[in-house]
Amino acid sequence: MSKKKKIEVQGNEITVIGNNEQDYISLTDIAKHKTDDNSAVIGNWMRNPNFKSIEFEGFRNVKTNLAA
């Protein structure tokens, strides 16, 4: 069973979802505190040469399963 909680980082509220021994932080919550257009921040992050799309797909699938 997943547990959803909020943490405060430098005055910003960030969602954390825990499942078993793993915690997942909301990149969207982090990005929205950088700029109003959080999709630009996430897009830049995904274009980073060190970004591993396979790992991202795995995280996204876990998140989708946690939300179900």
User: What integer is the mean pLDDT of 24-49?
Assistant: 82
**For the purposes of burial, counting CB atoms within 10 Å of the CB of 24, is it exposed (0-12), middle (13-18) or buried (19 or more)?**
middle
pLDDT tens-digit series, residues 5-30: 999 988 989 999 888 888 888 888 88
Q: Determine whether 60 is exposed, middle or buried from the number of CB atoms within 10 Å of its CB (0-12, 13-18, 19+).
A: exposed
pTM check: above 0.85: no
